[in-house]
Structure 1
Amino acid sequence: MIEAVGLTKRYGDKTAVYNLSFQVRPGAVTGFLGPNGSGKSTTMRMILGLDNPTSGRVTIGGYPYRKLPNAPRQVGALIDAKAVHGGRSARNHLLSLAQLSGIPARRVDEVLGVVGLQDVARKRSKGFSLGMGQRLGIAAALLGDPQVLLFDEPVNGLDPEGILWVRNLMKALAAEGRTVFVSSHLMSEMALTADHLIVIGRGQLLADMSVKDFISANSADFARVRTPDTEPQLREKLTIALTEAGGQVLPEQDGALRVMGLALPRISDLAHEAGVRLWELSPHQASLEEAYMRMTQGVVDYRSTADQKAGLQQPLPPGAQPPMPVPGQGQPGWYAPPPPQHAAPHPGGTPANPYGGPGAAPRPPAGPALQGQAPGQPPSGAPAAPAAAPAASAAASPAPVTDPTTSEDAR
């Protein structure tokens, strides 16, 4: 079992994870969800001893990772599938990890067969595709036959057959009583794979519950009702009847009605009493993606805006001349430097920190890329909203882990 208690990680005045507590229990696939920059990767690195927490603790089976006897035989992880020497073959890469941990060489061939790389075992990994690299990383995680497994985006780069294989592998490992902790952005895949969810935003815990409970708590089921398109007066008549019965009725873009607060049999009875024919009466249950979007809409830092092409194509005013062409523009190697970024002025003369922090200015209302506030504010003296840390990459594999970096991308 993995247990985190009050886990906090700061990089200078940036807080990647704040007061995070949760448990990952054996016998189930636990999904680890959160927007980019929410602190998922930082949390997994602290679990594996790659980063030391600023405060709090995280243990595996009651021990910190670095104090586990022969940790690669107890914990396997896929954090960075690219952490492979490109000049080594797949087999030699796994063989070197096995020798470091006292794992028999025959196990290397076993895991190569499990992940389907037995035919390319002697090819250099630098020629591997993204999906093949993922399979090699999963093989490294399985090498020590560990009871605890952590996977960060395990289906990245895999084809549909590979995604199905990973899904079944995760379920099989959990069915054997192992602890399986999976971070992913693919909501549809998590809905099919995970039994339990841990959701974080800006480094803070948002939810810790089963997939079913998460969807129920963060979505509203409704009924979809359609009347004959050629008789709009029937739709208006039905809307009045459903509203008077206590239902909430919203029009859909395709002409149907979304009805909340009334069961399907009740809707049918009301339509019959009103003399309204129905072309459609169907239930709708929210997906994990819908529930996730509702839960995290206030903690997403990076939002897209509409493409303002129309604003770039306004007609020139009378008498104005079109701009002179820039020499070399559009040619290979041509580069235009980005415009300078101007920070919002701070009342005290110091540039405001848009992510918060000790002494940070309030988040400016403008700027579509930074909207919403974290649902809970830290106590006095702590940063107002956790943020991402500087980027660097590190590898986690069944072999003893060392990491020379001091910071990383808090995803």
Structure 2
Amino acid sequence: MIEAVGLTKRYGAKTAVYNLSFQVRPGAVTGFLGPNGSGKSTTMRMILGLDQPTSGHVTIGGHPFRTLPNAPRQVGALLDAKAVHGGRSARNHLLSLAQLSGIPARRVDEVLGVVGLQEVAGKRSKGFSLGMGQRLGIAAALLGDPQVLLFDEPVNGLDPEGILWVRNLMKQLAGEGRTVFVSSHLMSEMALTADHLIVIGRGQLLADMSVKDFISHNSADFARVRTPEPTGREKLTAALTEAGGQVLPEPDGALRVTGLALPRISDLAHDADVRLWELSPHQASLEEAYMRMTQGAVDYRSTADQKAGLMQPLPPGHQPPPVIPEVPTQGWYAPPPPGQNPYAAPAPHAPAQAPQAPAAPAQAPVPQAPASPPQQPAPAAPATAPSLTKPEDAR
């Protein structure tokens, strides 16, 4: 199980994650959703010990990732499918990972077969397509047969057959009692794959519930009604409104009715002597519910969104995420300031000094920053370049 408690990550004045707490339980596929820049990747990096939280903590099976013995056998992750040496073959890449973790070499061929790359196992990964790179990254995550798995956009670049394969793989892994945490922007795929959802916006928790409950809490089911004549539509609208329903016209002439059950709508139409051509229930999709939940947490919005009908009213009682105190509402993710090591554990007084980080670069004029480095690194570059290319030539 993955457990995060009060996770906060700041890069100077920029806040990527703020006071985030959640649990990812075994035996289910947990989807991790949020707009671009909401802090999903930063959260996953903190889970894997790649980024040190400014405050709070996150554990896997009750232990921080860095203290897990032989972590690759307990946790598998796919964060960046391109993080592979292009000169290595798929088999050699996996073999090097296996040797570092004490995993038998026979396991390499097993996972290559699982992901369908056995035919290209001897080819260099730099010639792989995006989808093949994704498969290789998934193979690396499965290499140690871990109980906890994290995937960031695992279906990126895959064809429909590959997407179906990943979907079934996630369900199979969860069915075996493993903890499966999947980040994705494909709502239609999450609706078919995930059992539970964790949704964040601007680094804060927006929802932690099952897919069914998420859709129910963030959308309003409605009935679609069509009549053959405009006069009948007007009579029916008046009858439904008088009975307490809410009626909205659809672009094709149909009516969208909320607040009344289908049998009640049928009875009212019969009493008003209105013939019906259509009376059908409609449940919102995960995408529609997600758009309504996160519409207040989107930093980059097209001016055409309102015309496209994406700016729908929030459900009753729902409030957009509050603005983090003393932190700008734009630029929620930024690289660490120059000279800071984001992987080093912060000192006890680090949070108190965080506001001073942006002040240092402001004191030094911008033109002076690049002035000194070019004088020394310039002659050093030719000396290091040959050493980087010789191993490639040797291969």
* Equivalent residue number for residue 257 of structure 2: 259
Q: CA, structure 1 residues 19+386, in 2 after alignment: closer, same or farther (shift >3 Å)?
A: farther
CA distance in 2, matches of 1:292, 1:306: 18
- Asked if the contact 1:15–1:386 (Cα under 8 Å) also holds between the matched residues in 2, the reply is no
| Residue 321 (structure 2) aligns with | 375
RMSD of equivalent CA atoms: 1.7
Change (3 A) 1:387 1:205: farther
Show CA shifts across 1:183-202 (max 9, x none): 00000000000000000000
Is this contact kept in 2: 1:17–1:386, CA < 8 A?
no
Quote how far apart the aligned CAs of 1:304 are. 1.1
Equivalence for 2:266: 268
Q: Which residue of 2 aligns with 1:191?
A: 191
Distance across 2 between alignment mates of 1:12 and 1:385? 14
- Maintained 8 Å contact 2:204/2:321: no
Identity %: 88
Correspondence 1:84-163 to 2 at 5 A = 84-163=84-163
Aligned partners of 2:203 and 2:334: how far apart in 1? 15
Q: TM-score, normalised by structure 2?
A: 0.81
Shift of 1:377: 4.0
Select the residue among 225, 235, 238 that pairs with 1:237.
235
Residues 266-288 of structure 1 deviation map (CA, whole Å, 9 limit, x = unaligned): 10011011100000000000000
Deviation string for 1:300-332 (max 9, x for gaps)? 00011249xxxxxxxxxxxxxxxxxxxxxxxxx
How far apart are residue 406 of structure 1 and its match?
Answer: 6.0
8 Å CA contact 1:16–1:386 kept in 2: the answer is: no
Alpha-carbon distance between aligned partners in 2 of 1:183 and 1:386, rounded to the nearest angstrom: 22
The gaps in structure 2 that reach 5 residues or longer are: 306-318, 345-395
1:41 match:
41
Q: Give 2:282's aligned amino acid.
A: H
Aligned residues: 327
Q: C-alpha distance in 2, partners of 1:62/1:387?
A: 33
Q: Is the 8 A contact 1:33 1:197 kept in 2?
A: yes
Query: Is residue 286 of structure 1 aligned with residue 284 of structure 2?
Result: yes
Q: Distance in 2 between matches of 1:71 and 1:55?
A: 23
| CA deviation after TM superposition for structure 1 residue 389, in Å | 2.4
Is contact 1:15-1:203 (8 Å) kept?
yes
Where does residue 22 of structure 2 map in the other structure?
Answer: 22
1:389 equivalent in structure 2: 333
Structure with greater helix percent: 2
Q: How big is the shift at 1:375?
A: 1.9
Other structure's SS at 1:297 match: helix
Aligned pairs for 1:276-355 (under 5 A) are 276-306=274-304
For 1:16, the aligned partner's letter is: A
SS at match of 2:180: strand
8 A contact 2:14–2:334 mirrored in 1 = no
| Residues 242 and 267 in structure 1, CA contact (< 8 A), matched pair in contact too | yes
Letter in 2 for 1:250: L
**Equivalent residue for 1:250, pick from 248, 251, 273:** 248
Partner SS for 2:296: coil
- Residue 53 of structure 1 deviates from its aligned partner by 0.1
Residue 344 of structure 1: aligned partner? none
Report 1 or 2 for greater relative contact order, CA contacts < 8 Å, sequence distance ≥ 6.
Answer: 1
SS in 1 for 2:192: helix
